[in-house]
């Protein structure tokens, strides 16, 4: 993409950290580069990569996180790094780090949003109201997303907000966000983007409800563990409803048979992370006692994405870029069904860049198994 367009995209499949950073810099650097956002595989030596990025991108502010798969200019990637460079004539961007997510309060959020808004305003590109959105990248294994998001959402007011939880290539051990030259764990990055270009923050999923209902009758909300469903051991009751043996429960089964909570007429997926020996289930989202979960089944992914992009295109015109947070469970489903290449080329054709997440955020909600993001229009100037 040409510099004057506002966004340059880049990727590197180099396994050497220094080389990867150099390749990104070659593709991204230009005189108007104001900000870089990247997503990388957790297979890199993160300390070396952090130092190399800082060395190669010098004075440009860079934020990013580790992923469970990348969405690159060439479609879906693995073990690589994908990045976007934003032109400061089109985008005024401010960033902050929440270094300890467990101590983040509403007061902290309000101060942070004031600083972010002040930072964006200093470039006088466009009024804040109606021309600004927020992006959050959270440590995907911190289990504190809900608290942080509730505080941020209240402080952001009517500024739309989306984001993703960092991943680590499905190992579920260590996830990191990158800020100020280093990778951080147990942390979150908040990015406020002000632009005169048109944009829309969206979320979509392809999951359809079935008739069965499961009531959470025993849960420990803070640890996201459910011990009983319908007053039976959680894993047994879940397995019985979807027709598999408890011994066969794994990532792929959970991706194919998600549970969801219904709020008004919308279903919000509550994805299962793992089964424990005591037959309890851990979830990626908070699950409270007494909530009713509906057993869901995935529909076809492509028609859902096509209608999303048809709508975006009719409302915004030609798209410059879509930053997408795509749940890693969707990717597992596509890998299983052999649909990764087809959806990858569709995303490539639509100029989507982003990553596979351990959870998505949309206007203060922490959700799963969705494709959530921001579409930015090419602009008519």
Query: Using one digit for the tens of pLDDT, what is the confidence trace for 304-323?
Result: 999 999 999 999 999 999 99
Cβ-count burial 29-59 (b if 16+ within 10 Å, e if not):
beeebbbbbbbbbbebebeebbbbbbebbee
Provide the pLDDT confidence category of residue 140 given band limits of 50, 70 and 90: low
Cite the DSSP H helix spans in 157-265: 234-242, 251-256
Higher local confidence (pLDDT), 173 or 48: 48
Position 171 pLDDT exceeds 80: no
Higher local confidence (pLDDT), 26 or 167: 26
Per the rule left: phi > 0, alpha: psi between -120 and 50, beta: everything else, 112 is: alpha
Structure tokens at 81: 């790094």
Would you tell me how many other CB atoms lie within 10 Å of the CB of residue 125? 20
Q: For the chain, count helices (H), then strands (E).
A: 9, 26
Per-residue pLDDT, 127: 93
Position 371 pLDDT exceeds 50: yes
Query: Using one digit for the tens of pLDDT, what is the confidence trace for 9-35?
Result: 999 999 999 999 999 999 999 999 999
Q: Which of 162, 149, 169 is nearest to 66 (CA)?
A: 169
As a whole number of angstroms, the distance between CA 373 and CA 258 comes to: 21
Calculate mean pLDDT across residues 290-305: 93
In the chain, the N- to C-terminal Cα span, in Å, equals 17
Per-residue pLDDT, 1: 41
Q: Supply the DSSP symbol for 69.
A: S
Query: Using one digit for the tens of pLDDT, what is the confidence trace for 192-227?
Result: 999 999 999 999 999 999 988 999 999 998 888 999
């Amino acid at each position: 993409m040409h510099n004057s367009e506002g966004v340059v995209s880049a990727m590197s499949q180099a396994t050497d950290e220094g080389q990867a950073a150099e390749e990104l810099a070659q593709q991204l650097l230009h005189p108007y580069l104001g900000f870089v956002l990247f997503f990388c595989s957790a297979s890199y030596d993160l300390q070396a990569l952090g130092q190399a990025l800082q060395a190669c991108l010098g004075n440009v502010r860079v934020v990013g996180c580790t992923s469970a798969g990348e969405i690159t200019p060439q479609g879906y990637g693995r073990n690589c790094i994908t990045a976007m460079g934003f032109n400061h004539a089109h985008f005024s961007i401010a960033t902050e780090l929440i270094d300890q997510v467990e101590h983040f309060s509403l007061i902290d959020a309000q101060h942070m949003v004031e600083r972010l808004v002040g930072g964006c305003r200093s470039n006088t590109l466009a009024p804040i109201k109606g021309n600004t959105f927020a992006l959050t990248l959270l440590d995907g294994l911190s289990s504190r997303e809900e608290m942080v998001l509730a505080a941020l959402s209240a402080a952001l007011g009517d500024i739309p907000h989306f984001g993703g939880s960092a991943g680590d290539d499905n190992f579920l051990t260590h996830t990191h966000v990158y800020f100020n030259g280093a990778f951080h764990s147990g942390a979150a990055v908040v990015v406020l983007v002000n632009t005169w270009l048109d944009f829309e923050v969206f979320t979509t999923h392809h999951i359809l409800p079935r008739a069965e209902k499961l009531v959470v009758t025993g849960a420990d909300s803070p640890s996201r563990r459910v011990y009983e469903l319908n007053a039976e051991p959680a894993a047994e009751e879940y397995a019985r409803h979807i027709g598999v043996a408890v011994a066969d429960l794994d990532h792929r089964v959970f991706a194919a048979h998600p549970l969801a909570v219904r709020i008004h007429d919308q279903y919000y997926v509550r994805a299962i992370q793992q089964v424990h020996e005591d037959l309890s289930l851990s979830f990626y989202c908070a699950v409270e006692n007494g909530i009713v979960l509906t057993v869901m089944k995935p529909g076809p992914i492509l028609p859902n994405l096509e209608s999303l992009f048809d709508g975006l295109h009719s409302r915004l015109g030609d798209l410059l870029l879509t930053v997408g947070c795509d749940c890693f469970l969707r990717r597992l489903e596509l890998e299983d069904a052999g649909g990764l290449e087809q959806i990858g080329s569709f995303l490539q054709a639509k100029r989507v860049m982003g990553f596979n997440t351990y959870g998505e955020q949309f206007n203060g909600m922490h959700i799963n198994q969705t494709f959530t993001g921001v579409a930015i229009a090419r602009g008519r100037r």
